[in-house]
Amino acid sequence: MSKPVRPAITLVKGLGVEGDAHAGVTVKHRSRVRRDPSQPNLRQVHLIHRELNEELSQAGFEVHPGQMGENILTEGIDLLSLPTNTVLRIGESAAIKVTGLRNPCLQLDGLEPGLMEAVLDRDEAGNLVRKAGIMATVIHGGEIKPGDQIVSELPREPFHLLEPV
């Protein structure tokens, strides 16, 4: 699940991150493949906000970039509040479209016991809040590097809240 930190990654239109186990037109996640291997892959790129790692660190977890399976670690972007179909332009040419929330799995507890529970929360109304990042598909390929600017373009209203994909 963990991914090494690299000096750059290449996003490939319609597939995902070059060389990544989750790259492809159809689903690659084991549970989704078992259900229906012909489903479109809405989980080509996984993004997590650095602020989550800081929150986890304050709770006593030691989580490093890439360790929770993310391809891209952002900073200063409220990923969880973006609406579905937001386009994120990254670096000089890459663009991804936000498809939904990452639904955390028990593999996180393999990194540190209790980590899965730590990336779940409840809002004021008691609704489950998934904090383990968002998923996206690649709509324009290109190489991206740490420090590249990320510009978000919201879709037309009405906005649709992110759901797990």
Structure tokens at 15: 């597939």
CB atoms within 10 A of CB 158: 6
pLDDT for the residue 46: 97
- Dihedrals φ, ψ of 53, to 5°? -60, -40
Structure tokens at 103: 């639904």
Global pTM reads 0.94
Question: What are the structural domains, with CATH classification, of the chain?
Answer: 9-153 (2.40.33.20)
pLDDT for 17-74, tens place per residue?
Answer: 999 999 999 988 777 888 888 999 999 999 999 999 999 999 999 999 999 999 999 9
**Alpha carbons 94 and 143: distance in angstroms, whole number:** 7
Please say if the pLDDT value at position 145 is more than 80.
Answer: yes
Residue 97, beta-bridge partner list: 87, 137
Average pLDDT over residues 75-92: 97
**Percentage of the chain lying above the pLDDT 70 cut:** 100
Structure tokens at 71: 């391809």
**Alpha carbons 70 and 81: distance in angstroms, whole number:** 18
Q: Any idea which residue has 């936000």 for tokens? A: 98
